[in-house]
Amino acid sequence: MTPLLSVRDLHCSFETTRGHVHAVQGVSLDLNVGETLALVGESGCGKTTLARCILGLQRATSGEVLLDGENLVGLSRREARRHRPRMQCVFQDPFASLNSRKRVEDLIREPLDVHRIGTAAERRRQVQELMERVGLRPDWGKRFPHEFSGGQRQRISIARALALRPAVLICDEPVSALDVSVQAQIVNLLWELQRDLGMSYLFITHDLMLVENFADRVAMMYKGRIVEEGRAVDVWRSPRHEFTKTLIDAIPIPDPDVRMGSGSSVFGR
């Protein structure tokens, strides 16, 4: 099966006040249609930079990002615009990613306006449908982001990302800023959307327990490189790289009598 999204030997480096930083070093990965690939790693390992390179928000130093076989690296802004609808992103902080001066209905409709999709009436109707799909009341569209809770704001961000009906949704730590109970609601929403719409997810996270139950495959990132990749359940039960083993060993285990490798799993499988 030909991957929907392929990253090939991607490098990204840039200058900072502390010198030259190699944030992404030769990363290669594939994302298939309808699949969830979790990208896991510690803070500062290059996960978000990789996502920004894939989206074209950060210029890659070298390598390829192939969407349906077409390389997106090095495209002009005009050429890249054609591919914007097919890849969208949900960011970590929903409040920071939403313009606080715009009403919710305007925020969700903005991608449709920019890409001139449908008539004004069709856009308004689609905004209402998107709000209902993510669990928000359509009559809340006149409100501003500060009038919503963190979980509701993330639902607004998801609705906006869905407006262009993307094939790939990049979720950059989408639940890490939320309460635990709200995290579960957002993850369940993402799962339902994928089931109904057939999207592919690149899900960036540091929550290992979430990944094993939500992702199909896992790519472990360490110091700008992918050090291990495989099915989620296989990676957690039989980790090969020392970094993966260290992360798994650091997971709190509610029952002190349970140990990894004893035939049971901290994930309940």
Task: Give the integer Cα–Cα distance in Å for 3 and 184.
Answer: 29
- Range scoring the smallest mean pLDDT among 55-69, 220-234, 255-269: 255-269
Which has more confidence, 110 or 20?
Answer: 110
User: Is the pLDDT confidence value at 70 over 90?
Assistant: yes
The reported pLDDT for the residue numbered 119 is 95
Is 156 contained in some domain? yes
The alpha carbon torsion through 141, 160, 42, 36 (nearest 10 deg) reads: 130
Between 42-46, 80-84, 100-104, 261-265, the lowest mean confidence (pLDDT) is in 261-265
pLDDT of residue 255: 64
Check residue 250 and give its pLDDT.
Answer: 81
In this predicted model, which residue has the larger pLDDT, 223 or 265?
223
How do residues 51-63 score in pLDDT, each as one tens digit? 999 999 999 999 9
Distance CA 234, CA 232 (A): 5
pLDDT > 70 in the chain, percent: 94
Per the structure, how many domains does the chain have?
A: 1
Burial class of 54 by CB neighbour count within 10 A (0 to 12, 13 to 18, 19+): buried
User: Residue 257's pLDDT is what?
Assistant: 65
Q: How many CB atoms are closer than 10 A to CB 122?
A: 11
Task: Quote the pLDDT of residue 179.
Answer: 87
pLDDT in tens, 172-216: 999 988 888 899 899 999 999 999 999 999 999 988 778 878 899
- Tell me which residue range forms the domain holding 215: 5-249
- Residue 81 inside a domain? The answer is yes
The pLDDT value given to residue 263: 40
* Pick from 70-79, 201-210, 238-247, 259-268: least confident: 259-268
Identify the DSSP state of 72: -
What is the pLDDT at residue 212? 76
CATH of the domain at 239: 3.40.50.300
Are 38 and 219 in contact, with CB atoms under 8 Å apart?
yes
Sheet containing 19-31: give its strands across: 19-31, 5-16, 62-67, 70-71
Q: What is the mean pLDDT of the chain?
A: 90
Say how far apart CA 112 and CA 264 lie, in whole Å: 48
Instruction: Please indicate, yes or no, if residue 263 is contained in any of the structural domains.
Output: no
The pLDDT of residue 261 is above 80? no
Percentage of the chain lying above the pLDDT 90 cut: 72
CA distance 148 to 159: 14
Residue 264 forms part of a structural domain: no
Give the pLDDT confidence score for residue 258 in this predicted structure.
Answer: 56
pLDDT in tens, 95-150: 899 999 999 999 999 999 999 999 999 999 999 999 999 999 999 999 999 999 99
pLDDT at 264 over 70: no
Does some domain include residue 257?
A: no
